[in-house]
Structures are given as structure tokens and as C-alpha cells.
Structure 1
Amino acid sequence: MAIGIVARLEIQEGKNEEFEAAFAELKSAVTANEPGVNFYSLHRSRESETTYVVLEQYADQAAFDAHGATDHMKTIGAKLGACFAEAPGIELLDAV
């Protein structure tokens, strides 16, 4: 069963460019190395330029687990984390 993720991220003011560049780097690595990822996309709120939402879908639990264990997620994830204003809000979803 496919697993969906909605991650709401609040970024520190002035960190948008740095955050978006790090996310682009991560998305490129995910696309190149993780065949179990169906989609992985970043969206910025129209109401707040420091609020982002990441929409993700994994083919199954194994693909989701593998994503978190990748070297690129660990290294680039640290770059992203340095931009956060607060802890991300993560919602896990099951495809129906």
C-alpha cells in the first residue's frame, strides 16, 4: 500500500533561498536514487512566504523506511533543518 506524507515546514525569515536550494538538491538525489518514491514536491504557501508544504508518496513501507536511512537524506536533511524556524508538522497517510 502506498504511503503519503504531508510535511508542513516553517522556515526562518531570510532563509528561503537557502532552503529552496537545499530542497532542490535533495529532490534531485531522491529522484536519482530512490525508485520507490512516487513523488516528492515542495510548495510554498500563498499566505506566508516562510511556510512550505512537502508532498511525498512512497510505493510502500519499505520505500518510506529506506528514504529516511539514505545518506543524502541525512546530509542534505541537516542543511534543511538549519533553515527551520520550528519542528516540522508531519502527517502520515495511507493510500485508498
Structure 2
Amino acid sequence: MEERVITPWPLHDARPGEIVVVARWKPSPGERERVLTALSALTRASSKEPGCLGYEALHRGDPPDQEIVLIERYADRAAFEEHLASPHFQRLVLEEIAPKLRIRQVSVCTST
């Protein structure tokens, strides 16, 4: 029998007061590669923020309209608000990525 490796859920050690964001994106037809390119830059920049505790983008190559899921963790509300106000968020998400999405759902929760 083959041994199964289980990867821990990225939020398994979230502490009370942390902000957890789950964003679900579906690119418009023909926009997936552009979204993924901008997302790569967004992930790198966001991960360097002092209050960012984790920033993970999950996606598969096929089919081309496959959903993209982002899981983000921030130390507190202030860190999350700094992320939203950051130049990289404003440029990459609001100006470059959002117009290329046909669906954008974002859930923001406080860990308890």
C-alpha cells in the first residue's frame, strides 16, 4: 500500500486576532496567463510585508478557466489594512488583475 503524504492546512496554526483572507478568482477568457504573471509579482511583494504571516496562491494549469485561490494571513487588522494600501496591491490587484477577472470573491475573517 502506498503511503499518503498529507500537507498541513496553511491556517492550522492561526492565532486569535490574526486576519485570514481567502480570495477566489476566475480569470476572464484569455486572461489567465496575464493574471498569473501579475499574481507572481503580487505574491513576492506581499510576502515581504512586515505584518504578512503567509501568502499562498493555489492554481492548476488545466482547464484554462480553473479557479485561483489565495490564502493570506496577517498579524492583525492594521497589517491587513497596510497590505490593501500598499503600492503593489493598488497596482497589481486593482489596476492589473481585477479588470481581467470574471469572478472575484474575497472573504476576510478574524481568527478566534
TM-score computed with the length of structure 2 as normaliser:
0.75
Q: Is 1:30 the counterpart of 2:46 in the alignment?
A: yes
Which has the bigger relative contact order, CA under 8 A and spacing at least 6?
1
Give the alignment's Cα RMSD to 1 decimal.
1.8
Contact 1:36-1:60 at 8 Å conserved across structures? yes
In the alignment of these two chains, the number of paired residues is 94
Cα distance in 2 for partners of 1:94, 1:46 equals 31
The one of 48, 58, 64 equivalent to 1:43 is 58
Gap change, CA 1:82 and 1:35, over 3 Å in 2: same
Gap change, CA 1:6 and 1:45, over 3 Å in 2: farther
Q: Is 1:56 the counterpart of 2:80 in the alignment?
A: no
Once the two structures are aligned, what percentage of the paired residues are identical? 26
The one of 7, 24, 27 equivalent to 1:8 is 24
Q: Secondary structure at the match of 1:85?
A: strand
The C-alpha deviation readout for 1:6-55, integer Å capped at 9, x for no partner, is 111111122111111100011111123x1101111111268854211111
Contact 1:45-1:53 at 8 Å conserved across structures? no
Structure with bigger gyration radius? 2
The C-alpha deviation readout for 1:54-88, integer Å capped at 9, x for no partner, is 111100000001000011111111111121013x1
Structure 1: 4+ residue segments shifted above 3 A: 45-49
More helix by share: 1
Question: Structure 1: 5+ residue runs without aligned partners?
Answer: none
Question: Structure 2: 5+ residue runs without aligned partners?
Answer: 1-16
Cα distance in 2 for partners of 1:3, 1:48 equals 31
